[in-house]
A and B are shown apart, each in its own frame.
Chain A
Amino acid sequence: METARRQWIYAWLMLSPAMALLILFTHYPAVQTIVNSFYSTPRGRRKAVWIGLDNYQTLILDDVFWKVLMNNFWYAVWTIPLSILLSLAMALWVNDKIRGRGFLRMAYFTPTVLPLIAVANIWLFFYTPGFGLIDQIRGLFGLAEQNWMGSPDTALYSMIAVAIWKEAGFFMIFYLAALQTIPPSLREAADIEGASRWYYFRRVLFPLLMPTTLFVSINAVINSFRLVDHIFVMTEGGPNNASSLLLFYIYEVAFDYWDTAYAATLTVVMIAILILLAIGQFFLFDRKVHYK
């Protein structure tokens, strides 16, 4: 009896440092955010008061919220599949025995190593109307100047391109690592049976890479909400919120307009979306994934 209890105390003591940190900096703020979303924003001497679902009503009536949500939807729809496909293609290519393989691998990984702020500055130069890299190339073919980041039609897609460029190299590393664990004799066995490259990829390689694809796709989903650094540098969400995303909008509401309660409400919505997506992915993929 006595020793059993002592072991309990021991266990809790061992757990407590990590638990204290987790509760203090993760769980408490999360709960507090949810609580805050039901209160008004405290201003000056006026304290926060319980307002029930008022913040959520504001949110439903907020045009900008729906705008950034749709932007985020398109941002996700383009960045997730394109960055995954691109990373898989690059990994398959640099996994082959080709000349300059080491250099290629490094080149593909460079965007990941660079901070997104620095990357944004590079792309700022690419997109600059008139003398930016893209317009210079267009000029060679006699095409007109284009204000990529200044036009509401192209601003969001300019941001999407940067995100894909940034992410693909990172995901490539995971695919490359997974490819290296697949024994070459599988390829040879398929060769002897007369399987084409595509058939082998479809029936063997891709299914064996499924655990990696699941991991990468969950990361891509999270990143599609999280990766907004370049928007601060490049467009600040403009023009007319054309390139604003949910997280960027939350930042604006919280730290430009200081409407913290409404920002908390937006955060709750974003976290709910992320949780739903992650759970959905697990259930959707899990049955199809073969783990070794």
Chain B
Amino acid sequence: MTTGKSIMLRGLRKAWGETVSLKGIDLTIPEGKFTTILGPSGCGKSTTLRIIAGLEEVSAGTVEIGGEDVTSRPASGRDIAMVFQSYALFPHLSVAENIIFGLRVRRMGRAERDAKLTAAADMLGLSYLLDRKPSQLSGGQQQRVALGRAIVAEKSIFLMDEPLSNLDAKLRAEMREEIRDLQKRLGVTMVYVTHDQVEAVTMADQIVLMNQGEIEQIGSPRQIYSRPETLFTAKFIGTPPMGTCSARALGIARDDITVGIRPEALVLDQNGPIRARVGHVEYLGADAMVECRVGDETLPCRISGRTELTLGATIRLSVARDDLHAFDSASGQRLDTLPPEFAALSAAQTTAPLGSHASSTER
């Protein structure tokens, strides 16, 4: 079918009066790939998407689609289709009319129009709903109609603005898969805005993490998870997010460094170099989350659900060298090489079997 086009944003700035929403975005979105723009609310991700769509004007910078500068081109001339958070279905039109709305605008012939409608409706399982009004559909069905409208448009780029946020959890998981499949099948370039990191991580080829109008990090889900470039990324990605504490709490005499350790990277180890006290334990079934108190700070640790720890007990923990992340406390930037002092933290590591709490707990 259609092939995707790449999108390139250069020096994108957007301000409404005094409020600066985007502070210079440089971003390349590769063709035919699934890119999610992720970030907390108010970080400028929706604005970025709306600028790509041509619904919002830029204050400075350029937008290129497929190598062409489209900064001043209207939305209809950008070869894009968009699915809105509210779906933006026309309430007085039937499902069929909603889907072919754009084809009617372009005065497409009846036969061709009907063929496209049938194909899209079959693909989305909407065939038996074509005569209904949007108000007679469930949230998931409405979502599919909005997708149908984007599919029949046969554009190279799909833009989606938090399309799943109005659905319940079960449906969301289903639609996630469906949208991912759809993108692969159509081969379009997908730009998907979300504040939900699970959506971003499960669906994306590339994640663009934004914060306060700037890009924090661009990378594959794996890169972003395993090698966060900033403290913000480290704390934003992962459920629960990465635990952080000052280097001093771990017995390293450096005040300018913040240490990050993922909960699953912290393991109980009777010879481990990190001494901690057991704080609150949250039992989750298969595993449990333990608040480990190191100094005055806490690090979360994920242990097997079968291990029982007593509140207030002293435990020893270790962490693999590769799982240690160090950040500059002032700038939040990742330190590329671990300072030598950190060798002590992972040197004494011996892999102790998980769940043998009797051996790893000192009373």
**A183-B88, A290-B91 given; A188·B55 CB < 8 A:** yes
Q: List the B side residues contacting A189 at CB < 8 Å.
A: 82, 84, 88, 90, 101, 149
A286 on the interface (CB 8 Å rule)?
no
Q: Which of B75, B135, B149: most chain A CB closer than 10 A?
A: B75
Interface string of B52-79 (1 = CB under 8 A from A): 0111000000000000000000111100
Residue from B88, B92, B102, B104 in contact with A188 in the complex, judged by beta carbons closer than 8 Å: B88
Minimum C-beta distance from A137 to chain B (A): 41
**A193-B76, A292-B135 given; A185·B86 CB < 8 A:** yes
A191 on the interface (CB 8 Å rule)?
yes
B153 on the interface (CB 8 Å rule)?
yes
Beta-carbon contacts under 8 Å, B81-124 to A: 81-82, 84-86, 88, 90-92, 101-102, 104-106
A208 on the interface (CB 8 Å rule)?
yes
Beta-carbon contact of A192 and B91 below 8 Å: no
Total residues of chain B contacting the partner, CB 8 A: 26
**A194-B76, A194-B102 given; A290·B88 CB < 8 A:** no
Beta-carbon contact of A186 and B88 below 8 Å: yes
Minimum C-beta distance from A174 to chain B (A): 18
Q: List the A side residues contacting B37 at CB < 8 Å.
A: none
Q: How far is the CA of A207 from the CA of B84 in the complex (A)?
A: 22
Q: List the A side residues contacting B55 at CB < 8 Å.
A: 188, 191-192
Beta-carbon contact of B76 and A191 below 8 Å: yes
A195 on the interface (CB 8 Å rule)?
yes
A190 on the interface (CB 8 Å rule)?
yes
Q: How far is the CA of A204 from the CA of B101 in the complex (A)?
A: 10
Q: How far is the CA of A186 from the CA of B105 in the complex (A)?
A: 14
Minimum C-beta distance from A287 to chain B (A): 13
Q: Which residue of chain B has the shortest Cβ distance to A185 in the bound complex?
A: B88
Beta-carbon contact of A193 and B92 below 8 Å: no
Q: List the B side residues contacting A131 at CB < 8 Å.
A: none
A-B contacts, 24 of them at CB < 8 A, read A189-B82, A189-B84, A189-B101, A190-B105, A191-B55, A191-B74, A191-B75, A192-B53, A192-B75, A192-B76, A192-B80, A192-B81, A192-B82, A193-B76, A193-B102, A193-B153, A194-B76, A194-B102, A203-B101, A204-B92, A207-B92, A208-B91, A290-B91, A290-B133
Contacts A189-B84, A208-B91 known; list 12 others, CB within 8 Å. Answer: A185-B86, A188-B82, A191-B54, A192-B75, A192-B76, A194-B77, A194-B105, A195-B102, A204-B90, A204-B92, A290-B133, A292-B91
